Structure 1
Amino acid sequence: MECPSCNDRIYCDCSTTFPGDPVFKAPGCDKCRCTQQEKLLELETELNDIQIDLIAKIAQHEAARDMLELKLSFLKLPDADASSHLPVVKGDVKLVVNGLETIHAHRFILAAKSKVFYRMFECGMLENKTGVVPIDDASYPVMKAVVKHCYTAEINFTDEVLPEEVLKVAHKYQIPHLRDTCAIELCARMNERNLLDMLRFSKMYDVNLLRVAAAKYFRMHFDPVFSALFESL
């Protein structure tokens, strides 16, 4: 018989097959088997090289991430109660939330991230003269999270810091990166029961990413969305 790889003639000790016996399959000649083993060794070597390269890249990525986290932690605003043994840097502007609680910050940081704050502090408005910005349409935890985001580009959504509430503030003060972060979080939380709310948010706060995601979700999940809408009537 012939080798299935190179068609060279090979021989075996098998007897003639009869009906019902398993069909003999030529294993290939020694030359082809050696070639296949060499290819397997080459593939194993390449795979090992890829694994080593991947491990090195992961280590580099983790080192870069740790360095970035270290830099961001340097910029974070300390909590007044958590660092009582350290002097609290007051900044040069105060955000007074609902007339009760105060958040200290720096004008140049807020102005760099928010077009509204930039105009507020650069155009001789009352807030620029007094150094006090009244906030009457957001909770203290939400505004604290927004201010920290202006310093660190980070935000932690919780039961007190909901993405839709942060989105409202990001829209009002024109903070694009924070608005996009909220939109991504809302897209991840989208379901058939809150789809209409997502569409409403996308229109109220002019978030195209959320609008497109909601329309796509509606097309792909029409039946459950319709059922949820019918149940809510």
Structure 2
Amino acid sequence: MNKRKVVGVHHLPRIRDFSETPSLSNDLFFLRNYEVSPLCKDFRGDIKFVGSNGEEVYAHKFILVERSMVFRGMFDVDMGKESGIVKCPDVGAPVLRSMVNFCYTADIEFTEEAPAVELLKIAHTYHIDYLKVVCEDQLVGDIDKESFCRLLMLARKYDAKLLSEELEEYFRVSFDDVYPVFAKRLCRDDL
């Protein structure tokens, strides 16, 4: 993961006279170098998500409502409006942090702590459509005869259309390889 160095105010070069500022890019030097990413634990906002382990993840309402109709409805009504707290008992903080970061940057890095499957679930829950498509695209790359059943169930449960289409195509093209595994799993009780 590409980490940005966070520079404190006391480390920035001082401009003695404002007339020394040659361009807008130099004026924005502070902002570019002091940016705290939503992935950073020091990031703060006006909304607090509380994950499954009690860890807090912050965000700004105005960003979230632009990415999700669910958040818009949530913050326009009661939930989170007064308290500024959204409880997510079935989602870990790394997944919440990745979701928030995606809402800010449209950039995602799938990790062991924040896998595509978990981000697909939260994208479905909060109707973050572009994140859902990105997660589906990642999962399409994981399709093989062993993962077929699991991904098919996920695609159906979370209405993942792109993933469903790719699974159908994979099944059609690789029927001879997939069917024996698929049939064996259909007969198991612990799917």
CA radius of gyration, larger in: 1
Q: Is 2:39–2:98's contact at 8 Å kept on the other side of the alignment? A: no
Q: Does residue 139 in structure 1 map to residue 100 in structure 2? A: no
Q: Is 2:119–2:135's contact at 8 Å kept on the other side of the alignment? A: yes
Please state how far the C-alpha of 1:184 moved relative to its aligned partner: 0.4
Q: TM-score, normalised by structure 1?
A: 0.61
Please state how far the C-alpha of 1:74 moved relative to its aligned partner: 5.2
Q: What is the aligned counterpart of 2:140 among 181, 187, 200?
A: 187
- In structure 2, the residue matched to 1:79 is 40
Taking structure 1 as reference, are residues 89 and 191 closer, same or farther at Cα in structure 2, changes over 3 Å only? Answer: closer
State how 1:197-216 maps to structure 2 within 5 Å: 197-216=150-169
Q: Distance in 2 between matches of 1:117 and 1:74?
A: 24
Q: Distance in 2 between matches of 1:190 and 1:78?
A: 29
- In structure 1, the residue matched to 2:111 is 158
**Unpaired runs of at least 5, structure 2:** 1-31
Taking structure 1 as reference, are residues 202 and 89 closer, same or farther at Cα in structure 2, changes over 3 Å only? Answer: closer
Q: What is the aligned counterpart of 1:105 among 59, 76, 92?
A: 59
State how 1:169-184 maps to structure 2 within 5 Å: 169-184=122-137
Provide runs of 4+ in structure 1 moved above 4 Å: 230-233
Q: Distance in 2 between matches of 1:230 and 1:202?
A: 18
Taking structure 1 as reference, are residues 74 and 152 closer, same or farther at Cα in structure 2, changes over 3 Å only? Answer: farther
Higher relative helix content: 1
- In structure 2, the residue matched to 1:149 is 102
Q: Does residue 196 in structure 1 map to residue 153 in structure 2? A: no
Q: Is 1:75–1:152's contact at 8 Å kept on the other side of the alignment? A: no
Q: TM-score, normalised by structure 2?
A: 0.74
Q: Distance in 1 between matches of 2:173 and 2:182?
A: 15
Please state how far the C-alpha of 1:98 moved relative to its aligned partner: 2.2
Q: Distance in 1 between matches of 2:151 and 2:39?
A: 34
Please state how far the C-alpha of 1:207 moved relative to its aligned partner: 1.4
Q: Distance in 2 between matches of 1:78 and 1:212?
A: 32
Q: Is 2:53–2:93's contact at 8 Å kept on the other side of the alignment? A: no
Query: Highest relative contact order (Cα 8 Å, sep 6+), 1 or 2?
Result: 2
Q: Is 1:202–1:210's contact at 8 Å kept on the other side of the alignment? A: yes
Taking structure 1 as reference, are residues 99 and 75 closer, same or farther at Cα in structure 2, changes over 3 Å only? Answer: closer
Aligned length: 154
**Unpaired runs of at least 5, structure 1:** 1-70, 81-87
Please state how far the C-alpha of 1:75 moved relative to its aligned partner: 7.5
